[in-house]
Amino acid sequence: MATPHINAKDNDFAKTVLMPGDPLRAKFIAETFLEDAVQVNSVRGILGYTGTYKGKKVSVMASGMGCPSIGIYSYELYAFYGVENIIRIGSAGAITEKLKIRDIVAGIGSNTNSNFADQYGMPGTLAPTADYTLLSTAVESAKEKGIDMKVGNLLCSDTFYSEGGKEESILWSKMGTMAVEMESTALYLTAARLGKRALALVTISDHLITGEETTAEERQNTFTQMMEIALETAVKMYDK
């Protein structure tokens, strides 16, 4: 069933979809980790692939940048393609000295300055959170691989070039927020509304406190530990 933004056929997607922001990162994952990978989407350059990992069907598709973009793609995957689990695998900026470049963070919660939740008309404040089963499975997978993955709150921001700058980040950091990215809130809320599962895993690509950063090529091709955690989690979810 084609949608306005995905031209895949029924059953083209696996139960679990890994979702990087960058289409080239989706291509890299498919070519590096999946066996017999087939491209199933290319609308608007948003590349999607399905193959197998350790004998289990797994998909990977880009989300683009920001809440509106991942909100569209995650909704269509959940609602029209029978996808049950989406694991965002992206980059983030550290806003705490507890993190260093290339550390991996699993977002248990998603603080935000986005108005994405306004559409639901709730009589209070929604708190976007990860699915516990996905989160605990990812933590288990990281431990099995000997990876010290952190778990904590993310800040999902609608602004990349924020007028508030470093001072704004410090305020979030004081409340225990670990890193800033741009998609987790929309993903978590869409999953909650549709009764599905979602988790955001991010690798620290730059540090807003120390000024360290990685290159675009490094972000595309070297965040393999995060990718492997997500793939192992996808395989385990077949038994959940």
CATH, residue 119: 3.40.50.1580
Q: pLDDT tier at 169 (50, 70, 90 boundaries)?
A: confident
Separation CA 124–CA 138 (nearest Å): 30
Distance CA 124, CA 112 (A): 15
The answer to whether position 9 is within a domain reads no
Q: 153 - beta bridge partners? A: 109, 177
Q: Which two tokens stand for residue 39?
A: 């491209």
Q: What are phi and psi of 14, to 5 degrees?
A: -80, 175
What mean pLDDT is predicted for residues 60-70? 98
Alpha carbon 29 to chain centroid, angstroms:
14
Does residue 66 belong to any structural domain of this protein? yes
pTM here?
Answer: 0.95
Position 211 pLDDT exceeds 90: no
Is residue 214's pLDDT more than 90? no
| Weakest-pLDDT range from 37-41, 86-90, 96-100, 206-210 | 206-210
Give the separation between CA 177 and CA 86, rounded to whole angstroms. 22
Query: What percent of the chain lies above the pLDDT cut of 90?
Result: 86
d(CA 199, CA 96): 21
Hey, what's the torsion of the CAs at 187, 188, 192, 194, to 10 degrees?
Answer: 10
| Run of H or E residues at 197 | strand 197-207
Q: Which residues are designated catalytic? A: 206
Task: Classify 51 as helix, strand or coil.
Answer: strand
* pLDDT score of 217 more than 80: no
Total domains in the fold of the chain:
1
pLDDT tens digits, residue range 101-155? 999 999 999 999 999 999 999 999 999 999 999 999 999 999 999 999 999 999 9
Within a domain: 133: yes
Domain enclosing residue 232, as ranges:
16-239
